[in-house]
Amino acid sequence: MKARLVALLLILSFQPAWAGTPLDIVFDIDWTTFYTVHSEDPNERSSKSIQIEGKTYRPTDHLTEVIEHLLKTHPDIRISFFSGGTQSRNMTLLESVKLSDGRSLVDISHRILSYEDLTVVSQNKTLKFSEQHKKVLNQGIPDWNPKNTLLIDDQPEFAVKPLKSVSSLGHFNFQQKFDVSRAGEKFFPASEIEWKMERNKALVWLALLENAIAESARTGKDFSTVAQELWTRDSKNPFILKQGQDLLPSLKGQACRKIFAL
């Protein structure tokens, strides 16, 4: 009897703090999971481009593979999207992107929140949009837990405590190839390395999320706190990009130059 009790205690001691409760990963859309592209620019044209309400968008590279991996590997994870775009735009955009099993990003989403769900905190029109509006989850995801929830956004300041957020690492316009003639322009990378990191940022998300899940389970610390710490420390580390690549069967074993040449 004592041996069984000891065994049970050992098993429980290695259970993550969120065991039995969901982990909520909330993705932004614009400049995070999708780019707005200018179809008149040959270097921004892509077979993956999507036309929605008069604008052209392109999903971030490896987006569907990363989401599929998270859902398959971690049954406790819930994927949501929260964008300042309109509900009609967001729903149409997410519906247009399919996973390998035919489900759309709408189908796998726990919640999809839009401009209508933003919280207005200021009427001062001289402020940035992210300073006038905030992404608050209390209504949209009423059972969310601050310890187990992370917002991934190109403007992390959209989050207000207790919601924790990290940068989506989206800094530049989409380019099929690095354009040295535009290096240094606003919203364009200054080097090919920066361009490569932009194209493959979803692999960095994946590695950091996996590391945060493992570290949280090992230490008992809040998942969201650990994720913020790892993002700050490791998001620019090229080895993290390689780790994310190796987590995906479709990419594992390929040379980095091949991944970057997509």
Round to whole Å and give the CA distance between 50 and 63.
15
- Residue 246 is predicted with a pLDDT of 96
**Residue scoring higher pLDDT (13 or 149):** 149
- Residue 257 is predicted with a pLDDT of 46
Q: CA 200, 91, 107, 39 torsion: positive or negative?
A: negative
Question: Does residue 42 register a pLDDT over 80?
Answer: yes
Round to whole Å and give the CA distance between 48 and 199.
14
**Per-chain mean pLDDT for the chain:** 90
Contact 116, 68 (CB under 8 A): no
The predicted model gives 243-250 an average pLDDT of: 92
Contacts of 11 by beta carbon, 8 Å cutoff, 6+ apart: none
Contacts of 242 by beta carbon, 8 Å cutoff, 6+ apart: 256
- 6 falls in which pLDDT band (50, 70, 90)? very low
Question: Does residue 153 register a pLDDT over 80?
Answer: yes
- 254 falls in which pLDDT band (50, 70, 90)? low
Contact 243, 235 (CB under 8 A): no
Q: What percent of the chain has pLDDT over 90?
A: 82
Least confident of 13-22, 113-122, 212-221, 222-231: 13-22
The predicted-structure confidence for 156-212, as pLDDT tens digits, reads as follows: 999 999 999 999 999 999 999 999 999 989 999 999 999 999 999 999 999 999 999
Does pTM surpass 0.75?
Answer: yes
Q: What percent of the chain has pLDDT over 70?
A: 88
Q: Edge-to-edge strand order for the sheet containing 55-59?
A: 34-37, 55-59, 50-52
Least confident of 12-26, 177-191, 228-242: 12-26
Question: Does residue 113 register a pLDDT over 70?
Answer: yes
Residues listed for the chain: 262
